[in-house]
Chain A
Amino acid sequence: MGGIHLHYIVPGDDFTRAGEASADLKSRLKKLGVPPTAIRKVSIALYEGEINLAIHAGGGDIDVEITDDTVRMCLSDQGPGIADLSLAMSEGYSTAPDEVRSLGFGAGMGLPNMKKYSDEFDIQSTVGVGTTVNMAVSIA
């Protein structure tokens, strides 16, 4: 297996730390000389994912693989799962409580933004079991 592999753990109890993985990945990609537009796509997609893990799932895991032409990100959690995926993917739909909105999130843009900024996007979810999101962004 070629490429660089990274693993991040997103805590579920400290919202202020959500974003640390995206910030770390962003600086690594910068050092690797990845084009800025591609870095921005990766950063935003992963950041929204981290926020989701922190506010909806009680935390989770992120695995990243960087190859010459692609950044692949897998976000997995053992949270409550999503009952209606197509509804969750529509812009403006949110189940976030008021306290999350007061923090600046929960506008129903998280999953749509993740899809928008990734070149490949796949989400699998089972209620009561958890959710797995796979995203890939081309950096060639």
Chain B
Amino acid sequence: MTISQILETLNARLLTPEADCSREVHTACGSDMMSDVLAYVKDQAVLLTGLNNPQVVRTADMMDMVCIVFVRGKKPDDLLLSLAQQRGIAVMSTDLTMFTACGLLYEQGLRGGVG
């Protein structure tokens, strides 16, 4: 699915206006532990997290992830957003909980990567 479809499915707000929302996302990963995220290589993935610090963007960047979704209405600061903007990573925020957000994306056909 595309980043636009994720925005719509999660009723989320895009926080990086310049992001290319037509990009395809093939897999998803939901975690607040960045080392767990780093343990699994995924292809063009979206990261769902409740953790709100710049290391979320750095982790996503190292994994070549294309999109970060902050759950439970978390709002990242300007430093995080500018870091994401530089790396071409789309950032959005949804009021949904992690469980519900992951469930909705799963329902739409998105799956976890290979561990």
Please tell me if A105 contacts chain B, counting CB pairs below 8 Å: yes
B30-73 residues with Cβ-Cβ distance < 8 A to A are 32-36, 38-39, 41, 49, 51, 53-56, 58-59, 61-64
A104 contacts B by Cβ under 8 Å: yes
For the residues of A in contact with B, the DSSP-based class is: helix
* Residues A44 and B62 in contact in the complex (CB < 8 Å), given A16-B79, A19-B55, A103-B53: yes
Q: How far is the CA of A47 from the CA of B33 in the complex (A)?
A: 14
User: B38 to chain A: which residues have CB within 8 Å?
Assistant: 44, 47-48, 109, 113
Find the B residue at minimum CB distance from A108: B35
Give which listed residue, A47, A103, A104, contacts B62 with CB less than 8 A: A47
A22 near B62 with CB under 8 A, answer yes
Tell me the total A-B contact number using a CB cutoff of 8 A. 69
Asked if A36 lies at the interface with its beta carbon under 8 angstroms from chain B, I say yes
Q: Point out which of B38, B61, B64 has the most chain A C-beta atoms below 10 A from its C-beta.
A: B38
B33–A107 contact, CB under 8 A?
A: yes
CB distance from A133 to the nearest CB of B (A): 16
A116 at the interface (CB under 8 A from B): yes
Least Cβ–Cβ distance between B48 and chain A, in angstroms: 13
Residues of B within 8 A of A48 (CB): 35, 38
Contact B55 A109 (CB under 8 A): no
Q: Closest CB-CB distance, A128 to chain B, in whole Å?
A: 26
B36 in complex: contacting residue of A26, A44, A107, CB < 8 Å: A107
Chain B residues with CB below 8 A from A9, complex form: none
CB pair B55 A18 closer than 8 Å: yes
Residues of chain B with a CB closer than 8 A to A105's CB: 33-35, 55
Q: Could you tell me if B63 and A104 are in contact, using CB atoms closer than 8 angstroms?
A: no
Kindly list chain B residues whose C-beta atoms are within 8 Å of the C-beta of A44.
38, 62-63
A83 CB-CB contact with B under 8 Å: no
Q: Can you list 9 A-B pairs with a CB-CB distance of less than 8 A?
A: A16-B54, A23-B58, A43-B62, A44-B62, A47-B62, A104-B32, A104-B34, A109-B38, A109-B39
